[in-house]
Amino acid sequence: MTSRLISALVLGLGATGAVAAPNTKRTSSHAPQLKIISYKETPNGFRSAARGWNSFGIQANPLTTPGWKFDQEHVIEQCDHLAGLPGYDTCSLDSGWSVGGNGDDYGRIMYDEDNFNIPMLADHLHSKGLKLGVYIVPGAFLQDVNKTIINTDVRIGDVCHGDEGLVRCIFDYTQPAVQLWHNSCADLFAKWKVDFVKLDFVTPGSPDNGQHLPADGSGSVIAWHKAIQQSGRKMRLDISWKLDRTEKYFKIWNENADSMRTDQDLNNSQQPTFVSWEVVQRAFDNYRQWIVAGLQYFDHLNIYPDMDNLLVGNNASVSGITDAQRQTVMTHYIGAGANLIIGSDLTHLDKFGLNLLTNKAARDVADFTAQYPMQPRNPGTGGQDAKQLQAWIAGPAPTGKAVVVLANYGPDLGQGGFGGTSSAEQWVSASWEDLGIKGTYRVHDVWNNKDLGKQKSGVKAKLGPGESVLLTLTRA
């Protein structure tokens, strides 16, 4: 981390080797009670979010990786590098791997043989200890409406009508044959040895982008979940994008998918950098909204957040954000227990990015937050609002262990939700009351690998715009 970051400090007591922070006036003496929320097993049997690499970052930003082509050879090159990163095991193809306008004789999606051989790719990845992911959208191809669903006498056009704007028709999910079509697709994926399915353009959600999506496409999520279950192969189901967070639909997602996109694409499409801080601020706020909704409806969640691709692996001139901001992104993805699906060019990771992705202490924190996601606790009040100076807590677990994040997001660039304007370095403080905990905790600064000793009242750090600290707390 840059030298500008000052290690977290105790409220009123300086940690060893650090300068004591000035006393901070409290704005509230009665923070709301902390509701501890946890993750439980997902509908398809997973106990942590997916971790790996996805092709879309480079596909959408080819200027970041000159000479790269979306084909089997170049995907294998990336994924062979992924195999060397401990803890990451899923190599996921995004849109473009399949034939674009029609399926096989039964209307099932097929791979583009000019660029991919999916069974061979799966065998290669599995030989490296990796798993294969593929991208799909709801519906069957418009050109396939006269084809018959396998092992039935039902034509696709009998149960699928209209045009959703993605060269696909819209299924009537009340028809039994629709489930049989989904089963046949999942069976084909199982035959290919697919391990991860990304289902995009699900509604409610997927705000209009020129398509004609149905108002309620949640049936596609239910159908794919049932299809995966009957296939006999364990596969993750990731659903996308910016999905409805009202109770009715959040429960559907929670009961049928393993992870769900909380935001839209983060990448700088067709630019020489992957991402900008403006959209990162938006991603943080969308996660905040997601977990606040989750706290309303659930005591535990069976679904993990997908905050979109993790674009922190390459140097700042390619990533598009500073090293401090890259670290803050990694901290928030870890804190959320979110999918850690890298979108960077794995063949050109810099030293800083490699440490962000593989740091052992940070990976240990990720294992903890895979069970207890962080939630916002506003400094001074313990509230849940969007704030420029923000605090988060994950846990505590019954053992007393917890994770705390303090952040200064800098001026709101238009999508952060908090409206702050200060570009100054500022103290960010959180008392135990703000965080909803009591007692004495031993505090450790994860990225700086520094023990801050036993603390009785809270933590604070002096942070510039885009900076943050990741802290672990253990009961003393």
Please say whether the dihedral angle defined by the alpha carbons of residues 220, 222, 224 and 226, taken in this order, is positive or negative.
negative
> What DSSP line would sit under 350-381, residue for residue?
-HHHHHHHH-HHHHHHHHHHTTS-EEE--TTT
Other CB atoms within a 10 A radius of the CB of residue 292 amount to 14
310 — phi, psi (to 5°)? -90, 110
144 is catalytic: no
Whether the ω angle into residue 465 lies within 30 degrees of 0, i.e. cis, is no
238 is catalytic: no
> What DSSP line would sit under 12-59, residue for residue?
TBPPTTSPPPPP---S-S-PPPP---EE---TTS-SS--EEEETHHHH
> What DSSP line would sit under 263-288, residue for residue?
SS--S-TTSSSS--HHHHHHHHHHHH
| Of 432, 463, 380, 369, nearest in space to 48 by CA | 369
The active-site residue out of 71, 80, 200, 216 is: 200
The active-site residue out of 238, 265, 323, 434 is: 265
| Of 137, 39, 55, 59, nearest in space to 90 by CA | 55
Q: What would the two tokens of residue 190 be?
A: 């199982």
Contacts of 247 (CB under 8 A, 6+ apart): 296, 297
Catalytic residues: 200, 265
